[in-house]
Amino acid sequence: MRELGSAARAGLACAAGLAQAASLAWPASGVPLWWLQVLSLAVLAGLLRSTAHPFRAAVLAGLFATAWLCGTFWWLFTSLHTYGGLPAPLAVLAVLGLALFLASYYAIAGGLYVLLAPASRLGAALLFAGLWLLAELARNTLWTGFPWGAGGYAHVDGPLAALARLVGVYGIGFVAALLAMLLASLRAADLQRTTAWLLLGTLAAGLVAASGLRYCALGGCNRPAIAEHAPLDLALLQGNIPQDEKFQVGSGVPTALAWYARQLAAASAALVVAPETALPLLPAQLPPGYLEAIARRYAKGDQAALIGIPLGDMKAGYTNSVLGFAPGQDVPYRYDKHHLVPFGEFIPPLFRWFTEMMDIPLGDFARGPLGQPAFLWRGERIAPNICYEDLFGDEIAAQFRSPEHSPTVLLNLSNIGWFGTGLAIDQHLTISRMRTLEFERPMVRATNTGATAVIDYRGQVTHLLPRATRGVLLAQVQGRSGAVTPFAWWAARWRLVPLWILGAVCLLAGLWARRRPRNHHLKPLA
């Protein structure tokens, strides 16, 4: 790639970034493509290997990441402009500005790689993978985190998916980055034949080993420490209330209240679930007796319900919450969303002027505590999370510290009608599938517009309601208890610290390798 001009290299970096975005959910089908993720990242790796100047490398990595992120969450424009009322040019600039800000982590990683890369190709690959891992972790953690579209999600159906139970989505991303740089090294013109075969063997062995682990994860290996429960009957409600009407008292609100009341009254399943803010009013704003009627309905018999609703008041603060009703309860179960969406659910310091330009209701919630108790029903410990909380596997892991009390079923209640009915739904479904692989627990999803689904512990969608339709998904879920996965065990105790250490060790190893005398039989990287 050395012979390419600056403009061509920049264009190639942008094209590879868009391919990276497409790998997370192919536009024509919504299916993730693991091989495209590795190949697109290998293109960037090749560009970095042929770049001598750290600043130019940072620009290339930044262009790649900006194109990747814009291509991943472009649908934020819909929420900002169509539903938020922000003028289109400002909405475009907001999406681009967010992508540029987050891309700065990867730009720093690219610049440091060229600055520090050793002559050893394996050392260079480890350095690249470590820096890429640190960039992904920074995006997950800093400024409350916005890790939507992390590269590891593209591997939910690939051979590296088996690593989820060991190292999580970011560990998968680390291995993918390592493979990408090894692949870029394999294509280098000056690569010696013996080294080429060594790298090719490493790639092949890694994929074969990952495929073997994947076979075990899909049931080919017995794990007697896990107990599978009897199926639990579900009724998952998908109201499909148009987002521009959802909070309108003259249209969406009465429609939602009437439809969900009918479904909650008529359901015969053991567990009925209504999505995030299914009831779009505070309890004090609901029609007299509305919530009390639901409580009476589920106070007797053998059924329970979980319902998304905002709670609180001006004095105590507002929360994005889930209420649970079941026989024998003195008070309803309550879960308050912990990880809030910037601008949508809380206003970052110095940005109130920005939110005042938009017409988005309920924009300043209070945060619930981490590791809240599960909802106990029919022998299951059902752990709710709301909307994009399921991006943060390390926070979900807080409930897995004790195998005896860890969740048997994960539950996501969402309303991503803010973002249309396209790829955002596919991407979110893939995110939930990755969580089931990390924890080896099924995930139930109840949403306003999609994807309302049941995912088994192997990441396979077993039941799915068509998106953008109003209906009820009748399904079953089979909870699991017993031993927790290695990822759940260490993430429950140390969050993502072990991966931060892995990235730092790779960085230090790269520095150490650079200090060693160079092999004169290998040409410098740049």
Catalytic residues: 276, 337, 387
Contacts of 275 by beta carbon, 8 Å cutoff, 6+ apart: 237, 238, 239, 308, 413, 414, 415, 446, 447, 448, 452
Contacts of 357 by beta carbon, 8 Å cutoff, 6+ apart: 85, 86, 90
Q: Identify the sign of the CA torsion 260, 261, 262, 263.
A: positive
Q: Identify the sign of the CA torsion 286, 273, 441, 209.
A: negative
Cα–Cα distance measured from residue 475 to residue 497, given in angstroms and rounded to the nearest whole number: 38
Contacts of 307 by beta carbon, 8 Å cutoff, 6+ apart: 260, 264, 273, 274, 278, 279, 294, 322, 323, 324, 325
Phi-psi region of 424 (alpha: psi -120 to 50; beta: other; left: phi over 0): alpha
Can you state the percent helix, strand and coil of the chain, rounding each to 5? 50, 15, 35
**136 neighbors 167 (Cβ within 8 angstroms):** no
- Nearest alpha carbon to residue 179 among 204, 162, 146, 208: 204
Instruction: Give the DSSP letter string of 363-409.
Output: --PPPPPSSPPPEEETTEEEEEEEGGGGG-HHHHGGGGSSTTTS-SE
Element holding 209 (H helix, E strand): helix 193-215
What value, to the nearest 5°, has the Cα angle with vertex 232 and ends 326 and 480?
105
**445 neighbors 477 (Cβ within 8 angstroms):** no
Report the residue count for the chain: 526
